[in-house]
Amino acid sequence: MFDAASTGHKVGDDLYAKEVRELRSSLLAAQYELLDRPTCPVIVLVNGVDGAGKGESVNLLNEWLDPRHVRTRAFGPPTVEERRHPSMWRYWQALPPKGKIGVLFGSWYSDPIDARARAKPTDADLAAELERIRTFEQMLVDDGTVLVKLWFHLSKENQKRRFNELEKTKTTSWRVTSQDWKNAQRYDRLYKVSEVVLRETSTGVAPWLVVDGADANYRALSVGRALLAALRSRLGAANVAARKGKVQVVETDTATPPAVAIVQSLDTSAILVSLPFTERLSREKYDIKVAKSQAKLGRLSRSPQAQHHAIVAVFEGMDAAGKGGAIRRMTQALDARRYVVIPIAAPTDEERAQPYLWRFWRHVPAEGQTAIFDRSWYGRVLVERVEGYASEAAWSRAYREINEFEQQLHDRGVVVVKFWLAITKEEQIKRFKERQATAHKQFKITPDDWRNRKKWDDYIRAASDMIDRTNTSYAPWTILEANDKHLARVRALETLNQRLKKLG
């Protein structure tokens, strides 16, 4: 697929000078229009063959655009800190907020291509990785991102010629590293792998553009025009939406159909509705059991094996289900230096300028650390679905996005435990009343709680769908009968202990 790119396109200097003038002012105008209506971020991925002009093109884009609103990030081999997180973590941090242009020099494609060329993973591994990337990019595009994927191509002969040229002069010789020559020897392998990767990830929503890197003028114009076309098509789409009076919608939503068709099955919500709520744990037994489970968690979480893993614990449930109490019994057993509890409140404005999952990505723990979420990314398919804060398209595709996210965690050795604390409607009203009667618990009850209670059945349906669709082997849900707080707390501890024990 690179052959078409290697046919020796050339643009003369005069033509270039003329063309580039117009291109630059158009690009700048489009950039400011984007800033003015910041509904989407722009991401430019820069990948390809060494010596094909990647660095030059990145510098050129920064020269042409207003650099105050461009964020360029270059990715080399992962740092120690980056290796302690899921492989996508460093890219999650680098995404530009809405209205800005992010140039990623090296991207989520670099590692899989490089690894496969070294013949480390198998074709099946690579295929799985590419499927993951497709899901990730689909999510970005669904979220409104303009994704421009540039592949810089150079034939084997041209690459060798280019390196030799650069090495001749003192002022440019430093730009050819020994790694470049090593990669050149692997040209054929890299070529083959790249071809597969590009073919498999050139999707309708995020196609690759192969840029012939041999001629600097031609290359520069290709890159500039590709970015301009992408900006214009998005700005055009936004204009249409604006004319239709649609700009006020909360979600920037493309016309993508829901990723998962939601068919209300009869037996789904039965999971939550048919819980017996009969078991009880006496105070005496609870005191013994909780102390035992905490001691065990204390040991397991401090074991040498645990230091190569991280823990993510998610607590969801109706208001007053006892999430806070269960969380405290868990943290009491952990080393305070190694855990953090993240209560999910309304997103900050920095979080609102990013994809939905971004506010959780930033809290993903490094190995040896624990993150406990008091409510979580499941808000998308619970409160946001029920209250209509997210469009149907947005929350229905969230199941897949969430499964993918948790898979990423799992792949990096993160133990993901997810708890639904189930209580009955009667138990909830009892607790609301208790809280109102107790001085130091009044802060715990808000008008929102009463409002949510009115939509009890909607929440139960949403929770049932959620458990149904996100109950994976690598991140299973545990439903805790929580009418008895003691029982729920001990079970939460025991569940985590069981998962940690399996680490070896």
Query: From the CB of residue 96, how many other CB atoms can be counted at a distance below 10 Å?
Result: 23
Q: Which stretch binds its own copies (CB under 8 A): 61-69, 86-94, 190-198, 463-471?
A: 61-69
Q: Which stretch binds its own copies (CB under 8 A): 69-77, 139-147, 414-422, 430-438?
A: 69-77
CB-CB contact of 129 with 112 (8 Å): yes
The distance of closest approach from Cβ of residue 492 to its own copies in the complex, given in angstroms and rounded to an integer, is 15
H-state helical runs in 37-78: 54-64
Query: Binder to its own copies among 36, 168, 245, 248 (CB under 8 A)?
Result: 36
Among candidates 32, 99, 38, 36, which has minimal Cα distance to 66? 32
- Nearest to its own copies of 9, 363 (CB atom): 363
- Say how far apart CA 399 and CA 466 lie, in whole Å: 7
Using rule CB under 8 A, residue 110 touches its own copies: no
Using rule CB under 8 A, residue 374 touches its own copies: yes
Query: From the CB of residue 51, how many other CB atoms can be counted at a distance below 10 Å?
Result: 23
CB-CB contact of 490 with 289 (8 Å): yes
Query: Binder to its own copies among 16, 47, 51, 72 (CB under 8 A)?
Result: 72
Using rule CB under 8 A, residue 66 touches its own copies: yes
- Say how far apart CA 130 and CA 206 lie, in whole Å: 13
| CA end-to-end distance (rounded Å), the chain | 47
- Total residues contacting its own copies (rule CB under 8 A)? 49
Interface of this chain with its own copies, residues 277 to 306, rule: CB under 8 A? 299, 302
Query: From the CB of residue 2, how many other CB atoms can be counted at a distance below 10 Å?
Result: 17
Interface of this chain with its own copies, residues 136 to 175, rule: CB under 8 A? 171, 174
- Nearest to its own copies of 39, 203 (CB atom): 39
> Which amino acid is residue 326, in one-letter code?
A
- Say how far apart CA 215 and CA 158 lie, in whole Å: 10
Using rule CB under 8 A, residue 94 touches its own copies: no
Query: Binder to its own copies among 8, 12, 38, 67 (CB under 8 A)?
Result: 67
- Nearest to its own copies of 30, 193 (CB atom): 30
Using rule CB under 8 A, residue 17 touches its own copies: no
- Say how far apart CA 3 and CA 195 lie, in whole Å: 11
The distance of closest approach from Cβ of residue 24 to its own copies in the complex, given in angstroms and rounded to an integer, is 11
**Under DSSP, is residue 71 helix (H, G, I), strand (E, B) or coil?**
strand
Interface of this chain with its own copies, residues 428 to 457, rule: CB under 8 A? 440, 443
For 345, which DSSP code? Answer: -
The distance of closest approach from Cβ of residue 324 to its own copies in the complex, given in angstroms and rounded to an integer, is 7
CB-CB contact of 43 with 104 (8 Å): yes
Nearest 5 degrees, angle CA 233-CA 239-CA 242? Answer: 145
For 68, which DSSP code? Answer: G
Using rule CB under 8 A, residue 83 touches its own copies: no
- Say how far apart CA 444 and CA 451 lie, in whole Å: 15
The distance of closest approach from Cβ of residue 122 to its own copies in the complex, given in angstroms and rounded to an integer, is 33
Q: Which stretch binds its own copies (CB under 8 A): 52-60, 253-261, 386-394, 419-427?
A: 52-60
- Nearest to its own copies of 81, 195 (CB atom): 81
From residue 234 to residue 273, what is the string marking binding to its own copies with x (rule CB under 8 A)? ----------------------------------------
Q: For tokens 């806070």, what's the residue?
A: 324
> What backbone torsions phi and psi does residue 402 show, to the nearest 5 degrees?
-70, -45
The distance of closest approach from Cβ of residue 147 to its own copies in the complex, given in angstroms and rounded to an integer, is 19
- Nearest to its own copies of 201, 369 (CB atom): 369
The distance of closest approach from Cβ of residue 49 to its own copies in the complex, given in angstroms and rounded to an integer, is 18
From residue 323 to residue 352, what is the string marking binding to its own copies with x (rule CB under 8 A)? -x--xx--xx--xxxxxxxxx----xxx--
- Nearest to its own copies of 90, 410 (CB atom): 90
- Nearest to its own copies of 103, 214 (CB atom): 103
Using rule CB under 8 A, residue 37 touches its own copies: no
**Under DSSP, is residue 340 helix (H, G, I), strand (E, B) or coil?**
strand
Buried/exposed code over 158-172 (b: 16+ C-beta within 10 A; e: otherwise): bbeebbeebeeeeee
- Nearest to its own copies of 296, 385 (CB atom): 296
Indicate the burial class of 71 (C-beta count within 10 angstroms; 0-12, 13-18, 19 or more): middle
- Nearest to its own copies of 175, 186 (CB atom): 175
Element spanning 466, H or E: helix 456-470
- Nearest to its own copies of 61, 139 (CB atom): 61
- Nearest to its own copies of 74, 247 (CB atom): 74
The distance of closest approach from Cβ of residue 376 to its own copies in the complex, given in angstroms and rounded to an integer, is 13
Dihedral (CA of 85, 88, 94, 98) sign: negative
- Non-local (6+) Cβ contacts of 466 within 8 A are 378, 381, 382, 399
Using rule CB under 8 A, residue 68 touches its own copies: yes
The distance of closest approach from Cβ of residue 241 to its own copies in the complex, given in angstroms and rounded to an integer, is 21
- Say how far apart CA 8 and CA 11 lie, in whole Å: 10
Among candidates 469, 488, 485, which has minimal Cα distance to 477? 469
Using rule CB under 8 A, residue 307 touches its own copies: no
Site for its own copies, rule CB under 8 A: 25, 28-29, 32, 36, 55, 58-59, 61-63, 66-74, 79-81, 103, 105, 171, 174, 299, 302, 324, 327-328, 331-332, 335-343, 348-350, 374, 440, 443
